Amino acid sequence: MHSFPAPALALVEQMTASAAQEPARAISFQGAPGANSHRAALEYAPESLPLPCFSFEDALDAVKAGRAGAAIIPIENSQHGRVADIHFLLPESGLSIVGEYFLPISHTIMGIGPGPYSAAYSHPQALGQTRHYLRSHGIVPMAYADTAGAAAYVKEMGDPTACAIAPRIAADLYDLTVAAEGVEDAHDNTTRFVVLAKEPLDPATLEGEPAMTTFVFEVKNVPAALYKALGGFATNGVNMTKLESYQAGASFAATMFFVDIVGRPGEPNVDRALEELKFHSKSVRLLGSYRMARERG
């Protein structure tokens, strides 16, 4: 908690105290108050008690330790791709995905004065999503742990040549001047969040509703292993909406794949596809089945 800039600490302490009174209602998120993850928590569950955490690991640990009933974590952005490290953190957390939420992203430039600015602080995702604006204005991007934390840091520094890229609400929370709004490079910019809890949803409870299932797997080290592992999804008509690879360990010999499919265990075509996947894979781990928040395809 004390890694947050001083202007954010009072708000963090208040929100942490409120969450401690009713941890089952708490939703942990990474970032200072005013971050996009804070917005996502409030929009996904308006009656929740958002619990700010300094890192993704802290947000996941809050659920594991019982300080929060769920965590809401950004997993990918329509413009800048997947959120770094999240594919490692989700399987390692031992938590299950129980929901998803899509948040339209709009970035605001803010500082203690109206500018001009020479440096912009924000989360690397936000910096990547505003790179054209920053380049055209001669502003150097400076990575920070989260967007709203960057706003609090700019307030703490008191440097009129520094600005933050953060949600509009952060300017109000930290008494900063808004210099420009809507500076994202693409105005359909959207971030997908997943909601994690200790216990998975029973796939049977999703019957009759559009559902998603997320899992990770490692193929056997034989020729055409990936082709064979994925063939069952094609032959059984299961729509795969995401397939991303990442290395497990430093040997570069074990490739893990992170997958989203439309459907859930208990549906015959999904069961057949997963069975074929398991036959051709070294390991398969389901991360959760949950209600689809946005139509795919």
Residues annotated catalytic, as ranges: 191, 193
- Give me the residue label for tokens 């307030």: 155
- Rounded to whole angstroms, how far apart are CA atoms 223 and 207? 37
Exposed / middle / buried, residue 215 (Cβ in 10 Å: 0-12, 13-18, 19+)? buried
- Rounded to whole angstroms, how far apart are CA atoms 31 and 155? 16
- Rounded to whole angstroms, how far apart are CA atoms 63 and 112? 36
DSSP code, position 88: H
- Rounded to whole angstroms, how far apart are CA atoms 101 and 190? 10
